[in-house]
Amino acid sequence: MGGDGRYGNRRAIDLILRMGAAHGLSKVITSVDGILSTPAASNLIRINGAIGGIILSASHNSGGPDGDFGVKINGANGGPAPETLTDAIFACTQRLNEYKTLDHFPISLDSVAKHFIYAMAVEVVDGVDDYLKLMQKLFDFDQIKSLIISDFSIAFDALNAVTGPYAKRLLEGLLQAPAGTVRNGIPLEDFGGCHPDPNLTYANQLADLLLKEKAYDFGAACDGDGDRNMILGRNCFVNPSDSLAILTANASCAPAYAGGLSGVARSMPTSAAVDVVAKDLGISCFETPTGWKFFGNLLDSDQITLCGEESFGTGSNHVREKDGLWAVLFWLQILSAKQCSVKDLMSQHWRRFGRHYYSRHDYEAIPVDVAHGLYERLESMLPSLVGRPFAGSSIDQADNFSYQDPVDSSITSGQGLRILLKDGSRAILRLSGTGTQGATLRVYLEQYVLPSGNLAENPQKALSDLITNIDSLAEITKRTGMQKPTVIT
Ligand code: MG
């Protein structure tokens, strides 16, 4: 058990420990200062054979007395609780009348030590150590170090959240990057008032350094609990869907994956860039619903080695969570092996596999009834859309995505409206975040261009036909009154 250091972290650890002891747990492992990134927690669960884990985080959402707080439950495999477990927890809450706790002073999280709360052992470990050991097993640190100590400048932004202590020991310690490479490296209870979300909007300081000032060869940021990542090069942004494809295509650069990949997976809205690479490598590629838990069975049964999501999440079979710093090291490994810039690596990739122009348009805080009206209208139209001309091509398939897990055969339906075109382009609509702030409509746009086509266009321009066509089909502007999306990724 541990968390990303946000407001309430220590208090929650104290409360949960006392409740755990009252309910007869034999042992809880927690970390110094309660600091534990989500991927490090996943690793800790796995190497200790724990029955599960508790992660105190609200991921990339803001923290502080008025910010968000969250409690995540992970299973014995180290991954997010599958639906069978969350359903069982929900059922339990329906008949829960009481819980037990006991009086005990808060145990110290200041240093590595072993304590007892009555009969329950509490082991306080260094939350960074085991994660560092795992990374050293996966990657060739000497090779990465040779890149970093050469004329190759990097900047990492921990956004005042959990990855600061990890990145400092990895980058500035083991890999000998200059002091100051890790920015905002001390976890703060309110993340310094920032929104710890690694994208161009919230990690804009880092983005400006790389994209406007062109001050570094490589830049990266991770989110509040350390499972997401954003990768930047000098004057170059790496789309998360492309990142997964590039890691897959160059996986053999890292010792852990030099023997080949068993397969790959991506969430449905993630672009098909990795599909093209998987086909070339002759490995299977799975398309799953949004949410890391859907990769769990595929990883556990060794059907996949790498997986990722368009929402800045990438990971592998080394843990059962997405892993921000792992992705950063993997990129550095490839760049050190290939001796090229981020921009060159991407151009080479597109010249070989073609480019999936991709963008996500978010329309936030739409009144719930308007959002549902729009969504349900489009859903009802889907069967009649096949064969209709659309954005310079025609509609090949239109459905609401449904997934059958190949391991346990469970079915997850209603995962998003897909409009798939004959030329491989896609437009996907999903609704999320229904609540006091209204609903968010996410529109995912994707167009594939062959290696022989124009590979150097601005994505918004390349996608402009799709953008206008989906707007008029789904009546987005007409129904929401919004002239443009709130957030463009
Ligand atoms: Mg997160």
pLDDT in tens, 3-34: 999 999 999 999 999 999 999 999 999 999 99
Mean pLDDT score, 376-394: 95
411 inside domain: yes
In this prediction, residue 10 carries a pLDDT of 95
Please state, in angstroms and rounded to a whole number, the distance separating the CA atoms of residues 25 and 17: 9
What sign has the CA pseudo-torsion 479, 199, 306, 433? Answer: negative
CB-based burial, 285-321: b 16+ in 10 Å, e otherwise: bbbbbbebbbbbbbbbeebbbbbbbbbbbbbbbbbbb
Q: Residue 171: which pLDDT band, with cuts at 50, 70 and 90? A: very high
Q: Which of 68, 3, 70, 73 is nearest to 33 (CA)?
A: 3
In this prediction, residue 433 carries a pLDDT of 64
296 inside domain: no
- Residue 14 in tokens: 């104290």
Overall residue count recorded for the chain in this entry: 489
Which residues carry out catalysis? Answer: 59
Q: Residue 84: which pLDDT band, with cuts at 50, 70 and 90? A: confident
**CB contact set of 237 (below 8 Å; sequence gap of 6+):** 200, 207, 211
CA of 226 to the centre of ligand 1 (A): 6
Check whether 472 has a pLDDT greater than 90.
Answer: yes
31 inside domain: yes
Please state, in angstroms and rounded to a whole number, the distance separating the CA atoms of residues 296 and 46: 13
Three-state DSSP class for 244?
helix
Task: Indicate left, alpha or beta for 369 from its phi (over 0: left) and psi (-120 to 50: alpha).
Answer: alpha
CA of 225 to the centre of ligand 1 (A): 5
- Residue 106 in tokens: 């808060």
Counting the structural domains of the chain, the total is 2
Mean pLDDT score, 65-80: 94
Task: Indicate left, alpha or beta for 69 from its phi (over 0: left) and psi (-120 to 50: alpha).
Answer: beta
Helical (H) or strand (E) element with 263: strand 263-267
Three-state DSSP class for 358?
strand
Mean pLDDT score, 342-361: 97
pTM for the full predicted model:
0.94
Q: Residue 336: which pLDDT band, with cuts at 50, 70 and 90? A: very high
Please state, in angstroms and rounded to a whole number, the distance separating the CA atoms of residues 211 and 233: 8
CA of 465 to the centre of ligand 1 (A): 33
In this prediction, residue 388 carries a pLDDT of 95
Q: Which of 181, 255, 189, 266 is nearest to 224 (CA)?
A: 189
Please state, in angstroms and rounded to a whole number, the distance separating the CA atoms of residues 42 and 296: 12
Going from the C-alpha of 120 to that of each of 26, 112, 224, 378, the distances in angstroms are 5, 17, 30, 55
146 inside domain: no
Neighbouring CB atoms inside 10 A of 366's CB total 26
Q: Are 10 and 22 in contact (CB under 8 A)?
A: no
CA of 13 to the centre of ligand 1 (A): 19
Q: Residue 436: which pLDDT band, with cuts at 50, 70 and 90? A: low
Please state, in angstroms and rounded to a whole number, the distance separating the CA atoms of residues 305 and 295: 10
User: Which residue blocks in 229-367 are alpha helix, DSSP H?
Assistant: 240-249, 273-281, 296-300, 324-338, 342-353
Q: What is the CATH number for 415?
A: 3.30.310.50
Neighbouring CB atoms inside 10 A of 114's CB total 10
Give the amino acid at 120: M
Please state, in angstroms and rounded to a whole number, the distance separating the CA atoms of residues 417 and 90: 28
**CB contact set of 306 (below 8 Å; sequence gap of 6+):** 244, 247, 248, 251, 257, 261, 264, 265, 314, 315, 316, 317
Q: Return the residue matching tokens 């896609």.
A: 426
207 inside domain: no
Q: Which of 135, 134, 133, 131 is nearest to 144 (CA)?
A: 135
**CB contact set of 310 (below 8 Å; sequence gap of 6+):** 239, 240, 241, 267, 269, 270, 271, 358, 360, 444, 489
Please state, in angstroms and rounded to a whole number, the distance separating the CA atoms of residues 138 and 134: 7
What is the average pLDDT value for the chain, to the nearest integer? Answer: 95
Domain end, chosen from 106, 129, 152, is at 129
In this prediction, residue 71 carries a pLDDT of 95
Residue 298 φ then ψ, to 5°: -65, -40
Domain, as residue range, for 75 = 2-129
Helical (H) or strand (E) element with 267: strand 263-267
394 inside domain: yes
Check whether 281 has a pLDDT greater than 80.
Answer: yes
Domain end, chosen from 109, 129, 149, is at 129
CA of 222 to the centre of ligand 1 (A): 8
198 inside domain: no
Q: Are 265 and 314 in contact (CB under 8 A)?
A: no
CA of 58 to the centre of ligand 1 (A): 7
Please state, in angstroms and rounded to a whole number, the distance separating the CA atoms of residues 371 and 190: 32
- Residue 295 in tokens: 């990769």
Going from the C-alpha of 467 to that of each of 240, 354, 401, 427, 460, the distances in angstroms are 20, 21, 21, 9, 8
Check whether 96 has a pLDDT greater than 70.
Answer: yes
Among the listed ranges 160-169, 355-364, 431-440, 459-468, which one has the minimum average pLDDT value?
431-440
360 inside domain: yes
Domain end, chosen from 77, 109, 129, is at 129
- % of the chain with per-residue pLDDT over 90: 93
Q: Residue 151: which pLDDT band, with cuts at 50, 70 and 90? A: confident
Q: Which of 117, 139, 145 is nearest to 21 (CA)?
A: 117
Helix axes 324-338, 240-249, angle to 10 degrees: 50
- Round to the nearest angstrom and report the end-to-end CA distance of the chain: 33
CA of 219 to the centre of ligand 1 (A): 19
Per-residue pLDDT tens digits for 28-62: 999 999 999 999 999 999 999 999 999 999 999 89
